[in-house]
Amino acid sequence: MTPDQLVTQFCAEWIEPDPAKIAEYFAEDAVYHNIPMEPVIGRDAIREFIAGFIAAFGGIDFRVHRQLTDGGQSPNAEESSGVVMNERIDVFTLNGTVVELPVVGVFEITDGKITTWRDYFDMAPIQAAAGGG
């Protein structure tokens, strides 16, 4: 599976998320960093973070508008390492409010696993839905 295919499949998992299944996409020592927050390090910690996130927000619809890949695009071979960037709107419900959050995601893939996932977004829409802004 190419990095592009892996990230596309990964993003689709979030509609009806299973923390254990999502965590399997990550390398053992992976880093997940929502840039406004502290990074989460290690597959087990990522699984726990995702479980907490899902408990608060439920599923998320990752509406990917553009996705670009560096690596894994050779027509003669499927490489399993590269960098994937996507521009998307993450849609979820918080306190009965539908939040549409613009996000840019950067995924570093090595040997078919996510080693680093960074999401860049503004916390203001989340804080507003939570009643804090």
Is 18 among the residues known to form the active site?
no
> Kind and range of the H or E element at 7?
helix 3-12
Q: Judge whether 32 and 49 are in contact, CB under 8 Å.
A: yes
**C-alpha span between 67 and 92 (Å, rounded):** 21
Counted residue by residue, the chain has a size of: 133
- Token pair of 64, please? 């990917």
Task: Give catalytic status of residue 70 as yes or no.
Answer: no
Position 33, amino acid: H
CA–CA dist 37, 41 (Å, integer): 13
Which of the residues 4, 18, 70, 119 is marked catalytic? 119
Which residue is catalytic, options 18, 29, 90, 111? 90
Burial class (CB in 10 A: 0-12, 13-18, 19+), 87: middle
Query: Among all residues, which ones are annotated catalytic?
Result: 90, 119
